[in-house]
Amino acid sequence: MIRVNVVAPAVTKKEAYIMVVKIDKDTCIGCGQCVDTCPVQALAMQDDGKVGVDAALCVDCGACVGVCPVSALSM
Ligand code: SF4
Ligand code: SF4
């Protein structure tokens, strides 16, 4: 019998972490606590005074969700 090894296609980081944290901009009060908490600097304050996420950097750790005082972040 001939055995064939099937190699899974490469998955990019962005595809692997498609569940990027979601931000409710209407609820965010711009306190910046999540920005300080993110271990990979994926969060940054935007010109509108709300936080934004760089989906290419977020590793879906959930740390920011736990520190938001107004529950504006979710996974
Ligand atoms: S889920 Fe983790 S990596 Fe993604 S933005 Fe929040 S703290 Fe940063
Ligand atoms: S911790 Fe919550 S309220 Fe504060 S900047 Fe982040 S998302 Fe906005």
- The verdict on residue 10 lying in a domain is no
Q: Determine which residue's CA is closest to atom 3 belonging to ligand 1.
A: 58
Question: Phi and psi of 44, rounded to 5°?
Answer: -155, 150
pLDDT, residue 1, reads 60
- The verdict on residue 11 lying in a domain is no
Candidates 27, 65, 26; CA nearest to 43 is: 65
Beta-carbon contacts of residue 16 (< 8 Å; ≥ 6 apart) = none
Closest approach atom of ligand 1 to CA 57: 3
Structure tokens at 26: 């209407």
Task: Report the predicted TM-score, pTM, of the whole model to 2 decimal places.
Answer: 0.79
Average pLDDT per consecutive 10 residues, the chain (75 residues; last block may be shorter): 58 56 96 97 96 94 97 95
CA distances from 54 to 2, 25, 42, 47, 68 (A): 46, 15, 5, 15, 17
Ligand 1 in reach of 72 Cβ (< 6 A)? no
- The verdict on residue 13 lying in a domain is no
Q: Determine which residue's CA is closest to atom 6 belonging to ligand 2.
A: 34
pLDDT, residue 20, reads 87
Indicate which CATH number applies to the domain containing 23: 3.30.70.20
